[in-house]
Amino acid sequence: MSDDASLERLLEAALESRRAQHLERRRRVITPIDAVHVEIDGRRLVNFCSNNYLGLTHHPKVIEAVATATRAAGAGAAASGLISGYTSGHASAEAALAAWKGAEAAVLPPSGYQANHAAVQTIVGSAEVAGTRVRFLLDKLAHASLIDAVRGSGASFRIFPHNDLAKLERLLAERDSEEMQVVVTESVFSMDGDAAPLAELADLKRRHPFVLLLDEAHGSGVYGPNGAGLAAELRLTDAVDVFVVTLSKAMGLVGGAVCSSRSFCDALLNFGRAYVYSTAVPPAIAVGCEASLRVMRDEPERQRRVRELARRVREAVGMNGDCPIVPIGLQDEPAALRAAANLEERGLLVLAVRPPTVPKATSRLRVTLSCEHSDDEVAVLIDAIRQLKRVE
Ligand SMILES: Cc1ncc(COP(=O)(O)O)c(C=O)c1O
């Protein structure tokens, strides 16, 4: 048998195993209509599963900025930032991102996934050169990009139970004096829509010095003055050493950003392989990023509206808070898939999230809101979820 044939058999067996557990992932072709409506197989659906919290994918000013910059600077960067892919648009967006986050500097890797890798690689690479041991302490529900980044870095790490600061404190106390400890968490958790206890983390940092790497992929845009994030809203920016942001969610674009000190960003250009060895985001995306930042500043009603809609949906399902990520827990994978199909019959697109994206036995519908959803659409959603809960 050729190696090709054995590879095919191996792939089929692996996929069959996923299928048997109702865990196989497949894509569907969608046609975007606007920020919150799509067409699938000729049917118009209201999209309740994107991360388009502020509807900026379709904001006329963002589209115009990207289109104009594309005509001027071309469709792609054609090289990494360290070769010839770093334009005035990138430099200007980085300065704007840094100012927005209250940081000295920023670097724009091609995605949030890569931004997390580059941030971790910067710490590990610099520590290696300096001969310092480093240990990462990761929240159990940290995004796959953070876990992959830490695992892939070869550095030592421990995982602490979700938001369990007593356990985190015990781990921090194990530190030997030579070691640098890095706590890695998210301000708003991507699958649960809950928040890290940032004030308590800031207190903990005073008792046990550590570096705080905070992923604000989902906090940015939705919280804080000008959408600067949850840490900014809570006036805890100073407690954070390294912010990771995505341009792909509230900003409606693609790309990531690491915002930190000038020296961290300089080190990233030397040790952050996920940035160094990848083509820069297109110049037009960098220009679009600044347009998104301006919209966040000039149209704060978008943030107010998405949080108000989130409060409405959360109240209806017995949850507190105003985070636009609303998890609807279901017993198992078939139940989650049935629930998603049921909502789709009612014209609502909601994704069933299953392991390994979430821990075993926690399959759920991940409902997300956008300021562009109408009151009527949200009312239909609430009614549909209530009916689901009665059936399940
Ligand atoms: C918490 C978190 N961090 C990082 C990422 C990766 O961002 P991007 O989609 O821009 O690669 C995501 C997106 O899935 C996320 O939810």
Residue 29, domain CATH: 3.90.1150.10
If you measure from the C-alpha of residue 145 to the centroid of ligand 1, how many angstroms do you get, rounded to a whole number? 7
Same-domain status, 127 and 180: yes
Around 177, how many Cα atoms within 13 Å sit in the side-chain half-sphere?
Answer: 0
Please give the chain's pLDDT, 392 residues, in tens.
Answer: 577 889 999 999 999 999 999 888 889 999 999 999 999 999 999 999 999 999 999 999 999 999 999 999 999 999 999 999 999 999 999 999 999 999 999 999 999 999 999 999 999 999 999 999 999 999 999 999 999 999 999 999 999 999 999 999 999 999 877 899 999 999 999 999 999 999 999 999 999 999 999 999 999 999 999 999 999 999 999 999 999 999 999 999 999 999 999 999 999 999 999 999 999 999 999 999 999 999 999 999 999 999 999 999 999 999 999 999 999 988 788 889 999 999 999 999 999 988 888 888 888 899 999 999 999 999 999 999 999 876 55
Same-domain status, 116 and 137: yes
**pLDDT score of 391:** 58
Asked, for residue 315, whether it belongs to a domain, the answer is no
For the beta sheet containing 364-368, the strands, ordered from the edge strand earlier in sequence to the opposite edge, are 325-329, 364-368, 351-353
Residue pair 238/268 in contact (Cβ under 8 Å)? The answer is no
Same-domain status, 291 and 275: yes
- Indicate the DSSP class of residue 392: -
Ligand 1 atom at minimum distance from 256 CA: 10
If you measure from the C-alpha of residue 150 to the centroid of ligand 1, how many angstroms do you get, rounded to a whole number? 15
Same-domain status, 41 and 141: no
Cβ–ligand 1 contact at 122 (below 6 Å): no
Asked, for residue 311, whether it belongs to a domain, the answer is no
Residue pair 144/273 in contact (Cβ under 8 Å)? The answer is no
Task: Supply the DSSP string of 340-371, one letter for each residue.
Answer: HHHHHHTTEE-EEE-TTTS-TT--EEEEE--T
Separation of CA 71 from chain center? 29
If you measure from the C-alpha of residue 108 to the centroid of ligand 1, how many angstroms do you get, rounded to a whole number? 14
Given 51, 111, 116, 220, the catalytic residue: 51
Q: Which of 245, 278, 297 is the last residue of a domain?
A: 297
Residue with CA at minimum distance from ligand 1 atom 9? 112
**pLDDT score of 232:** 98
Structure tokens at 80: 């990494």
Task: Quote the domain boundaries for residue 221.
Answer: 60-297
**pLDDT score of 1:** 58
Given 249, 278, 333, 370, the catalytic residue: 249
Give the whole-angstrom CA distance, residue 128 versus residue 143: 25
Given 50, 126, 190, 248, the catalytic residue: 190
**pLDDT score of 111:** 98
Number of domains, the chain: 2
In the annotation, is 190 catalytic?
yes
User: Which SS3 state, helix, strand or coil, does residue 197 take?
Assistant: coil
**pLDDT score of 4:** 80
User: Which SS3 state, helix, strand or coil, does residue 181 take?
Assistant: strand
Asked, for residue 334, whether it belongs to a domain, the answer is yes
Same-domain status, 266 and 379: no
Q: List, in sequence order, every residue forming a beta bridge with 351; answer none if it has no partner.
A: 366
If you measure from the C-alpha of residue 215 to the centroid of ligand 1, how many angstroms do you get, rounded to a whole number? 9
If you measure from the C-alpha of residue 9 to the centroid of ligand 1, how many angstroms do you get, rounded to a whole number? 32
- Indicate the DSSP class of residue 46: E
> Ligand 1 pocket test: which of 49, 184, 249, 259 has the largest number of ligand atoms within 8 Å of its C-beta?
249
Same-domain status, 216 and 74: yes
Cβ–ligand 1 contact at 181 (below 6 Å): no
If you measure from the C-alpha of residue 227 to the centroid of ligand 1, how many angstroms do you get, rounded to a whole number? 17
Cβ–ligand 1 contact at 217 (below 6 Å): yes
Q: Which of 281, 297, 313 is the last residue of a domain?
A: 297
**pLDDT score of 163:** 98
Residue with CA at minimum distance from ligand 1 atom 7? 112
Backbone angles phi, psi at 231, to 5 degrees: -60, -40
Helices (H), 21-111: 60-73, 88-101
**pLDDT score of 131:** 96
Cβ–ligand 1 contact at 216 (below 6 Å): no
Same-domain status, 210 and 336: no
Asked, for residue 7, whether it belongs to a domain, the answer is no
Q: Which of 297, 316, 345 is the last residue of a domain?
A: 297
In the annotation, is 186 catalytic?
yes
Ligand 1 atom at minimum distance from 189 CA: 1
Asked, for residue 304, whether it belongs to a domain, the answer is no
In the annotation, is 218 catalytic?
yes
If you measure from the C-alpha of residue 77 to the centroid of ligand 1, how many angstroms do you get, rounded to a whole number? 22
In the annotation, is 226 catalytic?
no
Residue pair 328/388 in contact (Cβ under 8 Å)? The answer is yes
Given 215, 322, 333, 377, the catalytic residue: 215
In the annotation, is 320 catalytic?
no
Backbone angles phi, psi at 203, to 5 degrees: -65, -45
Structure tokens at 324: 């636009």
